[in-house]
C-alpha cells in the first residue's frame, strides 16, 4: 500500500515534469523565468522537508501523509484556476503548494523502513519505490490524454488528473496500518544537528543522495525543452520521460537485493558509473534514441545511488534522532534540487543541452572518488 501511495505521488510528479516547463514557456514574461514553476515546486518541497518530519513525529505517519495530500489537492486546484486566467505568478504559487505536498510524500520510503524487519530494510525501501513503475506508464499517458479533457485548453486537464491522484491516495492511506506517533512524555531528547552530522557515514549518505537527485533532476527537467529545440513534439518528449521513469523504478524490484549482495557503497559507485554513461550518450548526439537511451540510464543511475544512499542513511543515526536526521537529509537533498531547478532553464538557454551534460561529469566523478576513498569506514557501518 505504501508502494501504491508512492506510485500515485510519482505519477503526479511526472505529469508536472511533463507540463510545467512547457507552461512556463507559454506564460513566463521572459526566457529566464521558464523553469520558475518547476523551481517553486522544489522550493515548496524544500520548505516542507524539515516541518514534515517533525509533524509526523508528533501526529504520526498516517496523519502527516493525509495532510500532505490535502495540501497537494489545494495546489493542483490553484494551478487549474491560474491557467484559466493565464496568470503566471499565480501558477507558480500553485506549484509551490504542490511541492509542499510532495515534500510530505518523500517520507514514504522511511515509513517503509519502519514497518519492515531490520533484515529487510534495503528491500523495503526498494519495494516502496517500485510502485514508480506504475507511475512510469500512467504519468506520461495522463499528461498526453489530459490535453483533450477540456476543449480550448491544453494543460488544465493535467491538474484535474493530479487532484484525482491525491484523492485516491487519501483513500489508500485509510487502509494502511501504520504505527501511531510515539509518546513524547518519556522520549529522550534528540542530539544537536552537529552531533548527528558527525556520525560515521551520515554526510556520505547525504552526499550520495544529493548528487543523485541533483544530476537526475537537472537533466530530466530540461529534457522536454531540449527536445522541442531539436524539433521533437510534446508526445515524443512525454514518451522519453516515460522511458526515463521506467529506468528510475524498474530496478527497484532488485536494487534491495543488489545492496544486500554488494553493499551500499558499491551500489552507489555502480550508480555513478551509469550516470557517467548517460552523460556521454547525451553529449554525443540529439537523436530520439540518444534521448531515450540516455534518459533510461539517468533513471537507473539515480535509482542505484538514491536507494543505496537511503539505506546507508538509516544505519547512521540513533532512533531518538530519526526525525531530525531524516529532516536534515531531505532539506539538503531537495535544497540542492531547488537550486538546480532555478538554474536549469538559464543553463539550457545559455550553454546548451550537450554542454550542460558535460558540466555534470566532474560532479559525479568527484562523488565516486569520495566513496572510493572511504571504503573502510563504510564497510564498518555495513557490518554494525
User: Which tens digits make up the pLDDT trace of 134-185?
Assistant: 777 777 777 777 777 777 666 778 888 888 999 998 998 888 877 776 655 5
- Cβ-based neighbours of 283, under 8 Å, separated by 6 or more: 354, 357, 358
* Distance from C-alpha of 334 to C-alpha of 332, rounded to nearest angstrom: 6
Residue 153, CA atoms < 13 Å, CB-side half-sphere: 18
Query: Quick one: pLDDT at residue 125?
Result: 72
Torsion-angle region of residue 170: left (phi > 0), alpha (psi -120 to 50) or beta? alpha
What is the pLDDT, as a whole number, of residue 384? 56
Euclidean distance between CA atoms 131 and 88, whole angstroms: 33
Show me where the domains of the chain are located: 2-178+194-383
Report the b/e string of 163-182 with b at 16+ CB within 10 A.
bbbbeebbebbeeeebeebe
Calculate mean pLDDT across residues 236-253: 83
Helices (H) and strands (E) in the chain, counts: 17, 0
As given in the structure block, the three cell numbers for residue 53 are 518530519
| Sequence-distant (≥ 6) Cβ neighbours of residue 345 within 8 angstroms | 21, 24, 31, 32, 33, 34, 35, 36, 38, 222, 225
Give the Cα separation of 376 and 200 in Å (integer). Answer: 11
Q: What is the structure's pLDDT at 211?
A: 94
Q: What is the pLDDT of residue 383?
A: 57
Q: Quick check: 132 and 249 in contact, CB under 8 A?
A: yes
- State the helix-helix crossing angle for 264-283 and 375-383, rounded to 10 degrees: 130
Task: Label residue 14 by pLDDT band (50, 70, 90).
Answer: confident
Mean pLDDT value across residues 78-100: 88
pLDDT tens string 176-209: 877 776 655 555 778 888 888 888 888 999 999 9
pLDDT reported for residue 32: 63
Q: Which of 67-76, 142-151, 320-329 has the lowest mean pLDDT?
A: 142-151
Give residue 113's pLDDT.
75
Q: Percent of the chain scored above 90 by pLDDT?
A: 20
Identify the residue with better confidence: 377 or 272.
272
Residue 302, C-alpha cell as written in the block: 539515480
Query: Does residue 11 surpass a pLDDT of 70?
Result: yes
Predicted pLDDT at 244: 87
Do 177 and 6 touch, CB atoms closer than 8 A? no
Long-range contacts of 145-151 (CB under 8 A, 24+ apart): 146/15
Query: Considering the domain 2-178+194-383 in this protein, what is its CATH number?
Result: 1.20.1250.20
Tens digits of residue pLDDT in 331-371: 888 888 778 777 777 777 788 888 888 889 999 999 999 99
Grade residue 127 by pLDDT with cuts at 50, 70 and 90. confident
Please report which confidence band the pLDDT of residue 132 belongs to, taking 50, 70 and 90 as the band edges: confident
pTM (2 d.p.): 0.75
Amino acid at each position: 500500500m505504501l508502494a501504491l501511495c508512492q506510485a500515485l505521488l510519482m505519477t503526479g510528479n511526472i505529469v508536472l515534469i511533463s507540463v510545467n516547463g512547457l507552461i512556463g514557456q507559454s506564460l513566463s514574461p521572459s526566457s529566464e523565468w521558464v523553469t520558475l514553476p518547476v523551481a517553486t515546486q522544489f522550493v515548496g518541497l524544500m520548505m516542507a522537508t524539515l516541518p514534515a518530519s517533525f509533524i509526523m513525529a508528533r501526529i504520526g505517519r498516517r496523519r502527516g501523509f493525509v495532510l500532505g495530500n490535502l495540501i497537494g489537492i489545494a495546489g493542483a486546484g490553484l494551478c487549474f484556476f491560474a491557467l484559466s486566467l493565464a496568470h503566471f505568478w499565480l501558477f507558480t504559487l500553485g506549484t509551490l503548494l504542490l511541492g509542499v505536498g510532495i515534500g510530505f510524500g518523500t517520507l514514504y520510503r522511511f515509513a517503509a523502513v519502519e514497518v519492515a524487519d531490520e533484515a529487510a530494510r534495503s528491500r523495503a525501501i526498494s519495494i516502496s519505490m517500485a510502485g514508480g513503475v506504475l507511475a512510469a506508464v500512467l504519468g506520461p499517458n495522463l499528461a498526453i490524454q489530459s490535453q483533450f479533457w477540456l476543449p480550448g485548453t491544453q494543460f488544465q486537464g493535467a491538474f484535474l488528473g493530479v487532484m484525482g491522484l491525491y484523492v485516491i491516495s487519501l483513500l489508500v492511506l485509510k487502509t494502511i496500518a501504520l504505527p501511531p506517533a510515539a509518546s513524547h512524555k518519556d522520549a529522550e531528547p534528540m542530539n544537536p544537528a552537529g552531533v548527528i552530522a558527525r556520525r560515521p557515514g551520515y554526510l556520505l549518505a547525504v552526499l550520495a543522495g544529493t548528487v543523485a537527485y541533483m544530476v537526475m533532476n537537472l537533466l530530466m527537467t530540461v529534457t522536454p525543452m531540449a527536445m522541442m529545440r531539436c524539433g521533437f513534439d510534446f508526445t515524443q518528449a512525454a514518451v522519453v520521460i516515460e522511458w526515463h521513469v521506467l529506468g528510475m523504478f524498474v530496478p527497484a524490484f532488485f536494487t534491495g537485493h543488489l545492496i544486500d549482495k554488494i553493499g551500499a557503497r558499491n551500489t552507489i559507485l555502480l550508480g555513478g558509473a551509469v550516470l557517467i554513461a548517460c552523460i556521454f550518450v547525451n553529449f554525443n548526439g540529439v537523436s530520439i534514441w540518444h534521448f531515450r537511451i540516455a534518459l533510461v540510464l539517468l533513471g537507473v543511475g539515480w535509482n542505484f545511488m538514491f536507494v543505496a544512499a537511503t539505506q546507508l542513511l538509516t544505519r547512521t543515526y540513533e532512533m531518538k534522532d530519526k526525525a531530525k536526521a531524516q529532516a536534515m537529509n531531505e532539506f539538503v537533498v531537495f535544497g540542492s534540487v531547488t537550486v538546480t531547478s532555478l538554474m536549469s532553464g538559464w543553463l539550457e538557454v545559455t550553454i546548451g543541452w550537450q554542454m550542460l551534460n558535460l558540466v555534470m561529469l566532474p560532479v559525479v566523478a568527484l562523488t565516486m572518488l569520495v566513496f572510493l576513498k572511504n571504503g573502510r569506514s563504510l564497510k564498518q557501518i555495513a557490518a554494525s
